[in-house]
Structure formats: structure tokens, C-alpha cells
Structure 1
Amino acid sequence: MKSVRLTECARMPRRYGRLHLLHSTVDAYGRAHWLLTERAPGTADPYDALVVTADRGDVYETHLSAVRLYRPRLDALPDGGFVLADTRSKPDEQHVQVFDALGRSSWTFRVGDAIEHLLADTSGALWVGYFDEGVYGDDPLSHPGLRRWSSTGEPLWSFSPGPGPLDMSDCLALNVDGTTAWACPYMHHPLIEVRADGSVRVRTTRVSRVSGLAVDGGRVAFLDLDDVLTYGRITERTVEPEPGAARLVRPDGRALAGRSTVCRGPRIHVRERGGTDWSVLDIGDGDE
């Protein structure tokens, strides 16, 4: 099997290495963000945090005050603010905090338990994908498996199961491009396209064990749990496989050692487990 090398795209400056990394992401505009604290949160007391942002060679800081979340996910909003959400929560917990561009907490609300993906789109809306413990758990907010919320906590759209492959036991992979979301859920692994107006298109696929996906026009790449990429052409009702597959590897050609992904349009951003730096595969580059 041939290999496809990632390309280095964002490196956290070394001067922040002494701080504790809570979460990191790549936003809708390609900027990398790292959520840092002096130490890991250990109590329910509010704490201060620092967001370091890398934007095309520039690095800047945003200081967040009175963070109340124990294990938050992070994304950036178009107005310069940030949204944080705890992965797990109880039904009475306001586990989402929105911060303005000055780092002040402005909104708190909840979006449901068992968050697998938290991605803001270019309008500022939040796409939230849930894993199985949310879909089948006690919090009804999580039961749809995929939802879109406003940045003030108003529900905008939720997934509804249908006949055949249209189910959502676990939102395995989520890609947000502009204001459109692409998802690949367990168990039939359809490719689901959701536009901002709530319209949904479903295509059947022949993939499984998906952990990331990239979409470029009529072409899609699926990344599985073994770091193997498979490609397909998007038709009216199906994704037709392209011949061949490739293994995704580090920029230096070595195998990946565990990783997380953030998927945006034609790009799959990869951060290895325990690391801080981001690499990227762009299927629009035409060199895979």
C-alpha cells in the first residue's frame, strides 16, 4: 500500500510548553488554537485559561477568565470569541461557555452529553456530534446524534433517522465546510450532507470504521481507524469507490502513533496523541 504524507501546518511556540494543554483545534478559517492552563483543572472552582492562536505565521493570545469546565473542547467563533464545551455533563449542568473577543464569559447553556465533535461554522453556529453514550443515554438533547445550535444555545437543526441506512448510533466523523456539515455515522456509514437551511442528502458508501473525512467538490476521502485513506466519487445517491487506498503517515514518512482529527472541507487536520503540533492532508492539492 502506498503512503500519503501529511504536511506540517501549525506549531505551538515552545515558550508555551510548560503549560498544561486542555484542548486544541483548527477553526473554520484554518487557524490553529491551543487551550492552555497553569495546571489541569482539579476542582469545581473557576480558573483562568489562555488560548494561543497561530494564524499564517502570526501568534497571539486571548486570556479567558472564570472558566468553569473540567474537560473542555474548544473552537473559535467568527467574531473573535471562543466556545468551550465539556464532553460529559449532567442534565442540570450548563456545560457550554461562550467567551467574547476579550475573554469574558458571555453565555452559558447546554447542548447534551457525550460530545464527540464540536465545530463552529462560518456563521458562528455550532455543529455538535455525539457518541453512542449520548445517543442512547439519559439526556434527550444528545439522542439525535448530530445537531446544530446557535452560539447562544438555541436549537437550529437536529438529525432525524429514516429508512434504510439513515441512522445515527454514533457520529464517527464530522466535517464542517462553510455552513455545510458532512457526517459519517455508525452503523451503516452513509455520507450525510446537511446544509444550513436544514436540507439533508444521504449517500450510501462501502466504508467502515471511519474516523475522519474530507470533501472536495464531488470527491471524498475517508480516513479509518488504521490511518488508511479510501477515496470515492459523490453521486446523486451513492459514493462510488475509487481504486486503490493509501496509508496516511507523518510528514517525515513515519507511521502515526495515535491521533485526533479536525476535518474542514478538503482538509483533514491531524494532531498526534500527546503532541501539540498540527499537520494536514488536503485532497484538493491533487498529489495524494
Structure 2
Amino acid sequence: MAATSLTPYARLPRAHARLPVLHSTVDATGRAHWLLAGRPEAPVGASDDHGDGTSVCVPYDALVVTVDGGSAHAIELSAVTARNPRLDALPDGGFVVADTARVQVFDALGRASWTLDPGGDVDHVLTDASGALWTVQGPAVRRLSLTGGVLGEFVPLPGAAGTADCLSLNVGAHTAWAGTRTGLLEIRDGQPVTVRTGPVKGTHGLAVHGDRLALLGGHGYDHSRLVMCVLTETAAEPVAYGTLVLPDGGELGRRRLVNRGPRLYVQSEPYSEWCVLDLGH
């Protein structure tokens, strides 16, 4: 398989280009969001030393710019506390901003409503179309309500690969997937986790459509390798190998990935534009 080009998807409006990008994502409905520092010199991540050896991040204001098709709008978030923020959107117009061990919930007016304790360090977090949070925490993939209640906890069967080495999380309409260093986990509510072996060690991107699977990444120089697979009961069988490139044919370089069902969204430095690989088309 030759190089596969991404398709342009959404771009940060030029009016906001001077503000530092703290994080960016594409939500469950396909809207693109950028979390921006409130001003170019904003001291995001600054710490307030308590004098006892502990410190907390000084709350700061931020701006969320949303691009939905041909329209764009912005909303201010007040008193953000995440030192290394990860943004996602809620179906009611609100947002969540996650840090390693806590999640702030903001309403549709940008007001901080409450802080959620997910019950452990969070490696990955995505919201689904209902507003629930999917996280990877230690040996389990969890689905949480916005009040912190556990809606589902998914752990592989004894002897199977766990999720402690999970490098990617895909949350689709009815199924979630986790890519680990040793394989692939398929997660359906009310069913045991299905474990499959896979051809890629260190995959960070995955998209699934029917029995077709795309895996992006690998170690070292394989970070842009694209492997197309067919799913069987026990494995993701490779059928073609290639490289994923930018719409203009350029290399990906440093990037941010969001996995949503059949879509793999890719954002390269300086993180002002989202592109997409869509297995559904």
C-alpha cells in the first residue's frame, strides 16, 4: 500500500491564532474544539507554593473555540485548574477539562460547576454521545458518569493482556476499543472484553469500521506507519502496509490523535488544523 493522504477537516479561525493552544479535540458528534490560553502571555500551569512542600496550579481563564462545519463560536472557561489540560465536549454544550487525577466540569456558559474525582490516575479520557466519560485507569477501561459513578468497568479475562500498557482509546457509537502494546481490546457494555492479537506494537491511532481496522504508529521511525487489517475472532490480520501523510504529502511529525469509531483524527504541530482518515468513506 502506498502513502495514504489525510483529508482536511477543521481549522482554528485566524482571529484566534495568536493564543497558545493548550489542547484540542474532536468530540463524539464531530465538532472540533481548541482550548486556548486566555491571552498570549497567560501563565498556564503556574504553581502556588503552600510552603509545606505542596503546590497547586493557579486557576486561570481559558477560551474554547468550536468549529462545526462552516461555523465557529467561542466560549470562555473560568478558573481552570488543570496543569496539563485535556479537553472534551458534552452534549449539553458544556465541557470537561481533565488533568492526571481530576476532571473539571463546565456548564454551557463556561462556569466551573464541579470537580470529579475519577478514582485514580487517568491515562486517556474521551466523552461519548451521552456525556459519559471513558477513561483508561491502571488495569481497566472505565465508563463514568459526570458525578463519578462507575457505569461500567471493563477488564480482560484472567491471563489476557491488560490495559496498563494501553496507548490508544477509541470510543464509537456502541463499542470502545483499546490498543495495547500486545494487542487490541474490544469493549461492549454487558459483555466480556474481547482480546485480539495485533500486528503493531506501540500503536497510538486506531479506527474501526465493520471488520476493517486501521492502525497508526509504532516505535521509532514507524510512528507514521499505517497498517490496514481485517478483524477475525482472535486477531487483527494485516492486509496492507503503508504510510499516513498530511494532505499535501508531507510527513506527520509531532501530532495529536483522536480515535472515534471509523474516524482517525490527526492534528500536527502547530495544532491549528485537524485532518481525518475515515474508514466509513
TM bracket, shorter-chain basis:
0.7 to 0.9
Alignment of 1:46-57 (within 5 A): 46-57=59-70
- C-alpha distance 110-273 of structure 1, shift in aligned 2 (>3 A): farther
Secondary structure of residue in 1 paired with 2:177? strand
Alignment match, 2:175 = 180
Alignment match, 1:253 = 249
Paired amino acid for 2:109: L
Distance 2:107 2:191 in 1: 27
Q: 1:34-69: per-residue Cα shift (whole Å, max 9, x none)?
A: 001122412333222111000001001121112122
Paired amino acid for 1:36: L
Distance 1:151 1:198 in 2: 23
Alignment match, 2:132 = 125
- C-alpha distance 156-274 of structure 1, shift in aligned 2 (>3 A): same
- Are the equivalent residues in 2 in contact too, given 1:184–1:192 (CA < 8 A)? yes
- Are the equivalent residues in 1 in contact too, given 2:21–2:271 (CA < 8 A)? no
| Identical amino acids, percent of aligned pairs | 50
Alignment match, 1:150 = 145
Find out whether 1:45 has 2:58 as its counterpart. Answer: yes
- Are the equivalent residues in 2 in contact too, given 1:165–1:204 (CA < 8 A)? no
Distance 1:249 1:73 in 2: 25
Gaps of 5+ in 1: 90-94, 130-141
- Structure 1 position 238, deviation (Å): 2.3
- TM-score (norm: length of structure 1): 0.86
Residue number among 64, 68, 73 corresponding to 2:81 in the alignment: 68
Q: 1:206-231: per-residue Cα shift (whole Å, max 9, x none)?
A: 32121110001111111113211111
- Are the equivalent residues in 1 in contact too, given 2:156–2:195 (CA < 8 A)? no
Paired amino acid for 1:3: A
Residue number among 208, 212, 229 corresponding to 1:215 in the alignment: 208
- Structure 1 position 113, deviation (Å): 5.2
Gaps of 5+ in 2: 48-56
Paired amino acid for 1:16: H
Paired amino acid for 2:117: R
- Structure 1 position 145, deviation (Å): 4.2
RMSD (CA atoms): 1.8
Find out whether 1:269 has 2:265 as its counterpart. Answer: yes
Alignment match, 1:278 = 274
- C-alpha distance 5-30 of structure 1, shift in aligned 2 (>3 A): same
- Structure 1 position 169, deviation (Å): 2.5
- Are the equivalent residues in 2 in contact too, given 1:116–1:128 (CA < 8 A)? yes
- Are the equivalent residues in 1 in contact too, given 2:170–2:261 (CA < 8 A)? yes
- C-alpha distance 80-112 of structure 1, shift in aligned 2 (>3 A): same
Q: 1:77-132: per-residue Cα shift (whole Å, max 9, x none)?
A: 1111101111x34xxxxx21011111111221222555332110111111112xxx
- TM-score (norm: length of structure 2): 0.88
